């Protein structure tokens, strides 16, 4: 018998097993807590609760460490490609040359959408937020790909996973094209995953589109930085939706809906809007004061993280990438200077130091995406595109776990106790 956690309640002592992962804090296994004590735990926001066992991603928030299957995000973003990281997340190991070629070919061959899906777009207003379109169109995929929705069949699961990863760039690019009134551009399978996405987004049928290799590499790196992030809100949403046996397309649509919020994936859009609103470095102190004011709901967008209490390692890579992209595209964006000075001022302010608030992945990403030419409304869409691989990998891990159960949290009820119904004429 391993270590036990002792718990006294109502005059009785109880013991619960302590489980250890390969690294990171131990967990108390309280699955029998209710049966033994008649009590639940109370943990809104899951700040102390591990909802599952996972071998995909490890974060040490105090040390600013992020590992995918043991490999650091710094090494992956510097030396790998998004396709390689996708393979790694899905399969557990880095691919060999032939495996990577085979995987890339498979993904490439699934990039086209069922032609009838194009008519879905026409049902949206032209000014629809592309995340609204993403929720709708991705949810609708299950109506088109019946041959990969049997979640008990590993082959179906594999095909639907590949389809989701492959079709997401096409769906995202079409959402953009629809908003600017340009024709949809079909995938070109001679290009890389990211190059193909750039062409479908910025190319037009009337002209040849040349992929800029610096932009292609920077965007690929941004995709790597967003690929997975442990049990964050949208991933937990995908797992919860999937725990009922819902098909993967519906689960990923649920993840997209959750990601849209400004406290999660919507923060990259909100961060750039905030930097533009600040506009010049002389206004920064005013916004820092607002962020510190308890009576003002304003927060520094792109700052703070539930898990990272040191520095978000993704933000470091992102800051470096901003410089590369701005230099390569010869863009002199004054907003970058505002961002650098805002970061500097906040990191020297006691409020941000005490609360351990640092720039997160979203703080700098908007500046790069904007320099590449994406409108702010597309930022969260790009996050969704990249996170799809993480969602799919986590969903697969959950379905293959023999201990998997439907997710069903309990509650601390504070409403009225049982009372008699009063007929309408007596109220």
Binding site for ligand CMC (CB under 6 A): 232, 263-265, 267, 291, 299-306, 355, 357, 360-362
Nearer to ligand CMC, 251 or 346 (CB): 346
For residue 66, the minimal CB distance to ligand CMC (Å) is 12
Q: Where are the alpha helices (DSSP H) in 301-402?
A: 313-328, 334-347, 350-354, 362-372, 379-400
The alpha carbon of 84 is separated from its chain's Cα centroid by a whole number of angstroms, namely 18
C-beta of residue 33 within 8 angstroms of C-beta of residue 43: no
Nearer to ligand CMC, 62 or 93 (CB): 62
15 bridge partner residues? 6
For residue 360, the minimal CB distance to ligand CMC (Å) is 4
Our answer to whether residue 305 is catalytic in this structure is yes
For residue 263, the minimal CB distance to ligand CMC (Å) is 4
For residue 292, the minimal CB distance to ligand CMC (Å) is 7
Residue 390, token pair as written in the block: 């993480």
Burial category of 206 from C-beta neighbours within 10 Å (exposed 0-12, middle 13-18, buried 19 and up)? exposed
Determine phi and psi for 15, rounding to 5 degrees: -125, 140
Q: Which residue is nearest to ligand CMC (CB)?
A: 304
Our answer to whether residue 362 is catalytic in this structure is yes
Nearer to ligand CMC, 34 or 298 (CB): 298
Question: CA-CA-CA-CA torsion for 209, 214, 215, 221, nearest 10 degrees?
Answer: 140
Determine phi and psi for 18, rounding to 5 degrees: -100, 125
Q: Which entry of 156, 220, 305, 312 is annotated as an active-site residue?
A: 305
Q: Which entry of 362, 401, 420, 425 is annotated as an active-site residue?
A: 362
Nearer to ligand CMC, 203 or 266 (CB): 266
C-beta of residue 222 within 8 angstroms of C-beta of residue 382: yes
For residue 36, the minimal CB distance to ligand CMC (Å) is 31
Three-state secondary structure of 230-286: CCCHHHHHHHHHHHCCCCHHHHHHHHHHHHCCCCCCCHHHHHHHHHHHHCCHHHHHH
Nearer to ligand CMC, 30 or 271 (CB): 271
Catalytic site residues? 305, 362
């Amino acid at each position: 018998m391993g270590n036990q956690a002792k718990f006294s309640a109502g005059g009785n002592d109880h013991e619960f097993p302590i489980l250890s992962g390969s690294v990171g804090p131990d967990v108390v296994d309280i699955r029998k807590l209710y049966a033994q004590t008649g009590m639940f735990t109370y943990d809104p926001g899951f700040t102390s609760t591990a909802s599952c066992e996972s071998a995909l991603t490890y974060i040490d928030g105090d040390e600013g460490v992020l590992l995918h299957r043991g490999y650091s995000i710094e090494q992956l973003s510097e030396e790998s490609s998004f396709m390689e990281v996708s393979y790694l997340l899905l399969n557990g190991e880095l691919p060999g040359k032939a495996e990577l070629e085979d995987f890339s070919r498979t993904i490439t061959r699934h990039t086209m959408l069922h032609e009838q899906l194009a008519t879905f777009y026409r049902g949206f207003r032209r000014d629809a937020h592309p995340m609204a379109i993403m929720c709708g169109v991705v949810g609708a995929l299950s109506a088109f790909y019946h041959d990969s929705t049997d979640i008990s069949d590993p082959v179906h699961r594999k095909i639907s996973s590949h389809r989701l990863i492959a079709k997401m760039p096409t769906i995202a690019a079409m959402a953009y094209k629809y908003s600017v009134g340009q024709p949809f551009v079909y995938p070109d399978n001679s290009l890389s995953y990211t190059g193909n996405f750039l062409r479908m987004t910025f190319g037009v049928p009337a002209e040849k589109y040349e992929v800029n290799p610096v932009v292609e590499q920077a965007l690929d790196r941004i995709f790597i930085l967003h690929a997975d992030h442990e049990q964050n809100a949208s991933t937990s949403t995908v797992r919860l939706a999937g725990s009922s046996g819902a098909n993967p397309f519906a689960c990923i649509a649920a993840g997209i809906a959750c990601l849209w919020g400004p406290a999660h994936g919507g923060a990259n859009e909100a961060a750039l809007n905030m930097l533009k609103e600040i506009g010049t470095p002389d206004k920064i102190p005013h916004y820092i004061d607002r962020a510190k004011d308890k009576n003002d709901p304003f927060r520094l967008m792109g700052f703070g993280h539930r898990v990272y209490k040191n520095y978000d390692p993704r933000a470091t890579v992102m800051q470096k990438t901003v410089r590369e992209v701005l230099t390569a595209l010869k863009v002199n964006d004054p907003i970058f200077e505002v961002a650098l000075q805002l970061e500097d001022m906040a990191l020297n302010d006691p409020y941000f130091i005490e609360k351990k608030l640092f720039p997160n992945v979203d703080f700098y990403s908007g500046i790069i995406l904007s320099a590449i030419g994406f409108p702010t409304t597309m930022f969260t869409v790009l996050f969704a595109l990249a996170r799809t691989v993480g969602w799919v990998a986590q969903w697969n891990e959950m379905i293959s776990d023999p201990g998997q159960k439907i997710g069903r949290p309990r509650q601390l009820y504070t409403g009225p106790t049982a009372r008699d119904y009063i007929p309408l004429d007596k109220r």
